[in-house]
Amino acid sequence: DSGVTQTPKHLITATGQRVTLRCSPRSGDLSVYWYQQSLDQGLQFLIQYYNGEERAKGNILERFSAQQFPDLHSELNLSSLELGDSALYFCASSPSLDTGELFFGEGSRLTVL
C-alpha cells in the first residue's frame, strides 16, 4: 500500500460525457502527479501540482483539466470523452519537488463506450 488513494477504481461511461477522478496523496506529500496509461502509449505524464500550484504540464489534452486543493487532494477532470480516452489513470505523490521517488496509487480504470 503506497498510501496514495484513487477513486473510483473503475468507471464506465459514454462518449461525450464528463468524469472526475480523485486522488488523495500520502500524508504530508505536497506534490501530485497524474499519468495516463493506455495499451498503445505506455505511461504518459499529464500534469504535476505542488502545494496547489501547477508546476509541469505534459501532453495533457485541452479537454482535460486538473487542480490541487488546499487539503492537497487533487482531481483530474476529463470532458467530452472519446473512445481513445479509455485508459488507466494513475496519480502519484511525493514529499517534495526534488525527489524522483514517487508513490503511485492503484489507478482509476476508465472505459469509454
Partner 1 sequence: DAKTTQPPSMDCAEGRAANLPCNHSTISGNEYVYWYRQIHSQGPQYIIHGLKNNETNEMASLIITEDRKSSTLILPHATLRDTAVYYCIVRVLNSGNTPLVFGKGTRLSVIA
**Residues within the interface to partner 1 (CB under 8 A):** 2, 4, 31, 33, 35, 42-43, 45, 48, 50, 55-56, 58, 88, 90, 92, 96-107, 109
Q: Is 29 helix (H, G, I), strand (E, B) or coil?
A: coil
- If the CB atoms of residues 36 and 78 are measured against partner 1, the closer one turns out to be 36
DSSP 4: -
Q: How far is the CB of 8 from partner 1 (least distance, A)?
A: 15
Q: How far is the CB of 39 from partner 1 (least distance, A)?
A: 11
The rounded distance, in Å, linking the Cα atoms of 85 and 88 is 9
**Do residues 68 and 32 lie in contact, with contact meaning Cβ atoms separated by under 8 Å?**
yes
Q: How far is the CB of 45 from partner 1 (least distance, A)?
A: 4
**Do residues 103 and 2 lie in contact, with contact meaning Cβ atoms separated by under 8 Å?**
yes
- If the CB atoms of residues 80 and 99 are measured against partner 1, the closer one turns out to be 99
The rounded distance, in Å, linking the Cα atoms of 70 and 108 is 22
Contacts of 61 (CB under 8 A, 6+ apart): none
Q: How far is the CB of 43 from partner 1 (least distance, A)?
A: 4
- If the CB atoms of residues 14 and 39 are measured against partner 1, the closer one turns out to be 39
- If the CB atoms of residues 28 and 42 are measured against partner 1, the closer one turns out to be 42
